[in-house]
Structure formats: structure tokens, C-alpha cells
């Protein structure tokens, strides 16, 4: 045979190899929000809101009922997702830390494997993203309106850009623009589409400023919790709707960074409501004031969620239009759960169910059975491993989670985890939640407040007491369960290589360094500690 005669055969072989490869390497869109809890996602709980587009992912894919985060706070959760490692190993233990982007991360590995990688929206890891062909990110928390953002990539220097508009919509537009104009047709991609919303202080977009005005949102059973029958930290936090929401949180004060037009719409929505409240506030009981604050807070939170849901709907619609839906895995999650008034709280941080759990939905046409529900214990610790496995990239041995791909296929491995280790470090810090670690098997939960003197513990029977109102630690009838969980906690701390003492966070190291310098300058002892305290307050 002459050489040119085999050319068509060669080309056709090459083409079929490419086709197989393309479908073997699906696209990944990771949709991520900040502080979005299951209580405000109707696939989980439809008592307060309907989220049809998030629900669509659940209906066409899989809903996870037990997705636990390893450290329930923004930055640390993101660092766990980047690295597949617990906080003590990735070095980002509190929001005061700064992510060491030089370490191994899943986007770097995907990029090396030929994936086009992008992150758009909230980043919140302080250091410049590495491993992304493109990033376009909020700076720090970023505002709800008119955000400055930083764009760049592996081959482009980070550049600041100003924007006018509602941040959720801007992030959606950027994600759509990237999918339409920057995405390469011949390369699989991984896009992280990450929202600021519904993070504090819950500023709704123009479309939803008055939505729910005429409704009363259901109150949680534990809105008036008195924190009895538990260890001391629950009563000592500073995240109560009753005492700790500010005038800005409650929109008694308007945001400062609105354009004239945005401000006019804002005032038209909030001024009449505020005037009505202020006119009757003096005659209201304490309980009525808490109820008013709850309604104001929860409605603003739900309004923010509604805009995110709309944005997700637009992206899903584009995937359909562009013929991308079939070969694109869509995963929805949040960096941790949240208190919508449970225990009288806003915020997160605790190992209690509402903040330990985060929503997790996944759609993978042709692989995940539509409408499936999973009750295995999974975690944000597993996300990096899952993304790599989806792309056919070997999961590095030092990552600590497990790929969810077998679970997507309906085949939970026989040795899948049946218990979970949690560890929260940010004390002293915002909202004054004591450091704690613990273990849960989904039925019972042991929490150790190890830094208190003396240390305190809690044990909950989650099936009997789902709101975690009564600790049964030390009770004779739970002695056996307590012993088992104590042993399991010890085993997990060894498995995950926890040191006996918390390692200093990068922030603590910085403070220590600062203290040394101050001492050298003769400015006196103890100053860094005081400065730290003030910042935390």
C-alpha cells in the first residue's frame, strides 16, 4: 500500500480516538455560593423559598443529604476544595489566613492534563489564583453592588476592572461570556462559577427589593433558644438575631456604594418599611422586635438566593442552547451551611447540623440517574478528588478525600466512610465561637471544646434530637456510644495527621512576627494580643 492510501484510515482513527477522548473527559461547571443553606433551597426544604433552577440540577441529577464541611467558614472551605486536604495541612485554618497558592491544587493538575480552567466570581483566598487559564474575581468579600474585580490568568497579569451593576448578575454575565467567547471548542473545560451571595449583609438585587414584602416567612422552632442543656460556648457567641445584627444588616442604614439610580430604587423599597417599623418600635415587646428582625433578615437572605437561582437558570439554559449540556457535569454547592434563625442565630462556624451540612447537587446526563438521592457521608474534602477523577487524572496519594464518581454511578464503595471529622479554629475571632473538633456518624455527634479550661464536651442524639438542644454527654444510657465516638475521634485524628496541638495559622505567625518587631522597637509586651482582640470584637 502506498503511504497516501492509509492517510484517510489514519485520519478516521485519529478522529474516533478524539471523539472517545472528548466524551471520556467531560466538562465540569462547579457552581458555588457563599453561606447558602439547605433551609433556603427548595430541593431540600420548600418551606421558605422555591429555587426552580437549583432544583432542576437535583431533579435531573443527584441530591446529597449528608455533605459535611471540614471547617465551616468561607476561606478555609475554599482551601479544602482547592487541595483536597484538611485545614492543618493546606495551611488555611481561619479567614485571617492567606492561601499558599504554590502548593498542589486540583485546577493546576487539571490544567496540566489539558483542561481549560477558569474561576469567575468570589475567590476569597487572598493570594492570586494559580492554575487557572482565566480568573475574574472579587477582591476579598466583594460588595453586592458595583464590584471592582481582578482578571488575569496563567499567561496574563492580574488587572483591576470596575463594574456598575448587581454583583450576582455581573458574575453570571462573565460566566456566560467566558462560555460563549473564551472557551475553546476542542478542549474540555472546568469552570468555577462562584457567587458572593448570599453572604452577610444580604443586599438584594434590584429585581427582588420588594419581593416577599407581603409574606411572613416561617420561623424556625429554635428561634428563641436559651442555650441551656449544652456546653457553655453556645451561650457565649456573638451571632444572635436578637443582639448582634447591625443597622446595616437590618437595612435601617442604606449601603454606601450605590449609584444615584440604585439608591433611589433602594430607598423606594426600604424607606416606607423602615419608617413603619421605627414608628412602632418603642411599643413593641422584645419578642416582637426579634420577630421583626428575623423577618427583615431572612427575607433579604432569600432575595439574594433568588437572584443566584435566576443566574443558574441562565447558565443551564445556555448549556442547552449550545449543545453542551450532555457532556458537562454541573455541580452545585456552598462553602458551608448557615443559620436562618435556628438557635436564634445568623452565621455559621459550629459543628451543629445547619452549618456542618452544605447543599450538594450534581447533574451528569447519562451517568447519574435523574432524581436520585444519596445519604452517604460526603464532604467538600472530596471535591478536588472528584474533579480529577472525572477528568481521568490520577488522584495524588496525599489528598485526603475520595472521589464521588462511584457514588454518581450509584455504586458506593463498600469501604466508604461512615464517620466524619470536623475542626473549627477561628477563636479568638468574629462571632466568638470557641475552637472545637468532633466526630459524627450521622446519628450521633461528639463535640470537644478542647481549648476551654477545663475542656467541655457535647454529645447529641441527632435522630432523637435533630435540633441539638440537649447534650447527652456523660449520661449513663449513652456511655457506650460516647466511648465509641471518643475512640473514633482519636482514630480519625490519627488518620488525618492532626498534630496534638493546633499548628499556628499563617495569621498567628504574622502576629508573632509583628510582636517580635514591636518588642525590638521597645513598644512593650502583649500589644499584638490586644490588637488581635480588638479586631475580633
Query: What is the smallest separation between the CB atom of 75 and Ca ion, expressed in angstroms?
Result: 8
Q: Is the dihedral of CA 43, 49, 52, 53 positive or negative?
A: negative
- Rg of the Cα atoms in the chain: 24
Query: Which residue, 335 or 342, has its beta carbon nearer to Ca ion?
Result: 335
Query: What is the smallest separation between the CB atom of 34 and Ca ion, expressed in angstroms?
Result: 4
CA dist., res. 414 & res. 411, Å (int): 9
Query: Which residue, 35 or 240, has its beta carbon nearer to Ca ion?
Result: 35
Query: What is the smallest separation between the CB atom of 74 and Ca ion, expressed in angstroms?
Result: 4
Query: What is the smallest separation between the CB atom of 124 and Ca ion, expressed in angstroms?
Result: 8
Query: What is the smallest separation between the CB atom of 336 and Ca ion, expressed in angstroms?
Result: 6
Query: What is the smallest separation between the CB atom of 437 and Ca ion, expressed in angstroms?
Result: 19
Q: Can you say whether residue 28 is alpha, beta or left, with left for phi > 0 and alpha for psi between -120 and 50 degrees?
A: beta
CA dist., res. 156 & res. 210, Å (int): 42
Residue 418 corresponds to which cell in the numbers above? 461512615
Cβ–Cβ under 8 Å, residues 356 and 334: no
Query: Which residue, 303 or 349, has its beta carbon nearer to Ca ion?
Result: 349
Centre a 10 Å sphere on the Cβ of residue 406 and count the other Cβ atoms it contains.
13
Which residue's CB atom is positioned nearest to Ca ion? Answer: 74
Query: Which residue, 60 or 335, has its beta carbon nearer to Ca ion?
Result: 335
Query: Which residue, 35 or 458, has its beta carbon nearer to Ca ion?
Result: 35
Cβ–Cβ under 8 Å, residues 97 and 114: no
Query: Which residue, 353 or 448, has its beta carbon nearer to Ca ion?
Result: 353
Residue 286 corresponds to which cell in the numbers above? 422584645
Query: What is the smallest separation between the CB atom of 335 and Ca ion, expressed in angstroms?
Result: 4
Query: What is the smallest separation between the CB atom of 32 and Ca ion, expressed in angstroms?
Result: 10
Nearest alpha carbon to residue 340 among 41, 33, 31, 67? 41
**Residue 431: HSE in the Cβ half-sphere, 13 Å Cα cutoff:** 22
Helices (H), 322-442: 353-356, 383-390, 405-408
Distances (CA, A) of 198 to 294, 309, 474: 16, 11, 38
Query: Which residue, 35 or 249, has its beta carbon nearer to Ca ion?
Result: 35
SS3 445: strand
Question: By the criterion CB under 5 A, which residues form the site for Ca ion?
Answer: 34-35, 74, 335
Placement of cell 436520585 in the chain: 372
Cis peptide before 494 (omega within 30 of 0): no
Query: What is the smallest separation between the CB atom of 298 and Ca ion, expressed in angstroms?
Result: 17
Distances (CA, A) of 121 to 36, 138, 419: 15, 6, 33
Query: Which residue, 105 or 355, has its beta carbon nearer to Ca ion?
Result: 355
Query: Which residue, 133 or 335, has its beta carbon nearer to Ca ion?
Result: 335
Amino acid at each position: 500500500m502506498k503511504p497516501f492510501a492509509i492517510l484517510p484510515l489514519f485520519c478516521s482513527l485519529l478522529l474516533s480516538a478524539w471523539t472517545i477522548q472528548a466524551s471520556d473527559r467531560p466538562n465540569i461547571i462547579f457552581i458555588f455560593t457563599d453561606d447558602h443553606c439547605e433551609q433556603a433551597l427548595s430541593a431540600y426544604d420548600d418551606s421558605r423559598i422555591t429555587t426552580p433552577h437549583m432544583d432542576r440540577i437535583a431533579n435531573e441529577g443527584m441530591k446529597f443529604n449528608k455533605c459535611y464541611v471540614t471547617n465551616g467558614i468561607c476561606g478555609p472551605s475554599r482551601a479544602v476544595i482547592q487541595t483536597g486536604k484538611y485545614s492543618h495541612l493546606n495551611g488555611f485554618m481561619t479567614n485571617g489566613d492567606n492561601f499558599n497558592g504554590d502548593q498542589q491544587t486540583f485546577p493546576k493538575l487539571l490544567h496540566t492534563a489539558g483542561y481549560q480552567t477558569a474561576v469567575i466570581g468570589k475567590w476569597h483566598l487572598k493570594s492570586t489564583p494559580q492554575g487557572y487559564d482565566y480568573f475574574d474575581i472579587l477582591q476579598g468579600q466583594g460588595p453586592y453592588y458595583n464590584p471592582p474585580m481582578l482578571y488575569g490568568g496563567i499567561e496574563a497579569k492580574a488587572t483591576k476592572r470596575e463594574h456598575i451593576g448587581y454583583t450576582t448578575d455581573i458574575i453570571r454575565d462573565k460566566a456566560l461570556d467566558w462560555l460563549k467567547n473564551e472557551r475553546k471548542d476542542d478542549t474540555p473545560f472546568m469552570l468555577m462559577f462562584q457567587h458572593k451571595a448570599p453572604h452577610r449583609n444580604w443586599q438584594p438585587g434590584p429585581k427582588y427589593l420588594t419581593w416577599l414584602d407581603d409574606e411572613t416567612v416561617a420561623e424556625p422552632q429554635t428561634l428563641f433558644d436559651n442555650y441551656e442543656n449544652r456546653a457553655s460556648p453556645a451561650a457565649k457567641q456573638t451571632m444572635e438575631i436578637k443582639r448582634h445584627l447591625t443597622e446595616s444588616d437590618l437595612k435601617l442604614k442604606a449601603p454606601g456604594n450605590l449609584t444615584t439610580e440604585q439608591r433611589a430604587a433602594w430607598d423606594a423599597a426600604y424607606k416606607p418599611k423602615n419608617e413603619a417599623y421605627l414608628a412602632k418600635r418603642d411599643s413593641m415587646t422584645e419578642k416582637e422586635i426579634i420577630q421583626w428582625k428575623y423577618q427583615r433578615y431572612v427575607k433579604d437572605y432569600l432575595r439574594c438566593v433568588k437572584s443566584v437561582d435566576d443566574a443558574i437558570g441562565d447558565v443551564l439554559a445556555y448549556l442547552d442552547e449550545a449543545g453542551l449540556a450532555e457532556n458537562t457535569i454541573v455541580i452545585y454547592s456552598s462553602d458551608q451551611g448557615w443559620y436562618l434563625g435556628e438557635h436564634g442565630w445568623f452565621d455559621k462556624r459550629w459543628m451543629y447540623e445547619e452549618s456542618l451540612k452544605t447543599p450538594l447537587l450534581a447533574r451528569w446526563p447519562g451517568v447519574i440517574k435523574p432524581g436520585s438521592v444519596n445519604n452517604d457521608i460526603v464532604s467538600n474534602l472530596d471535591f478536588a478528588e472528584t474533579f480529577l477523577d472525572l477528568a481521568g487524572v490520577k488522584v495524588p496519594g496525599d489528598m485526603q478525600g475520595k472521589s464521588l464518581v462511584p457514588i454518581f454511578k450509584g455504586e458506593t464503595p463498600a469501604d466508604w466512610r461512615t464517620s466524619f471529622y470536623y475542626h473549627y479554629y477561628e477563636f479568638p475571632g468574629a462571632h466568638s465561637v470557641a475552637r472545637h473538633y468532633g466526630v459524627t456518624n450521622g446519628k450521633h455527634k461528639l463535640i470537644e471544646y478542647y481549648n476551654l479550661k477545663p475542656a467541655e464536651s457535647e454529645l447529641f442524639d441527632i435522630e432523637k434530637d435533630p435540633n441539638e438542644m440537649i447534650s447527652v454527654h456523660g449520661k449513663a444510657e449513652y456511655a457506650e456510644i460516647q466511648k465509641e465516638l471518643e475512640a473514633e475521634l482519636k482514630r480519625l485524628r490519627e488518620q488525618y495527621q492532626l498534630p496534638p496541638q493546633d499548628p499556628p495559622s499563617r495569621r498567628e505567625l504574622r502576629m508573632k512576627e509583628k510582636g517580635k518587631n514591636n518588642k525590638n522597637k521597645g513598644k512593650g509586651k502583649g500589644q499584638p494580643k490586644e490588637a488581635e482582640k480588638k479586631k475580633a470584637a
